[in-house]
Amino acid sequence: MREVAARIKDEFRGDLRAAMTGPITKVRKILKSFPSIADPGADRILLFAGIQPVAAVPANCTGVLARVQKGHEEKNYKASYREPQRMIDAEVAATFDARVRAYLC
């Protein structure tokens, strides 16, 4: 925690939220530069911090939606994460409320 706090203080002048603007790929890259943050964690932060209404998928059940919809899931974790994101994007309104409800259900 101290290392993360020091990075935020030094690299972002104590205001990480101010750096969370611009293209989503840039914002995800910043978040993923912190320890233990991968795509699912970055997307949760973006969604629940009210930064971007992304289609976040719980990291421990990425294949559930694909199995329900298609009968199988991808073998590659990254593809297994992106597929349900595409499904959510297609079916759930791109609002914070709708995406938070979808994540929590």
Provide the domain limits for residue 89. 2-104
pLDDT value for 49: 95
CB atoms < 10 A from the CB of 54, how many? 23
Amino acid of residue 96: F
pLDDT value for 46: 96
pLDDT value for 89: 94
Angle between helices 39-48 and 96-104 (to 10 degrees): 130
Query: Which pTM was predicted?
Result: 0.84
pLDDT value for 69: 76
Amino acid of residue 71: G
Ramachandran angles phi, psi of 94, nearest 5°: -85, 55
Distance in angstroms (rounded) separating the CA atoms of residues 68 and 30:
33
The tally of domains found in the chain comes to 1
- List, for the chain, all residue ranges whose pLDDT scores fall below the cut of 70: none
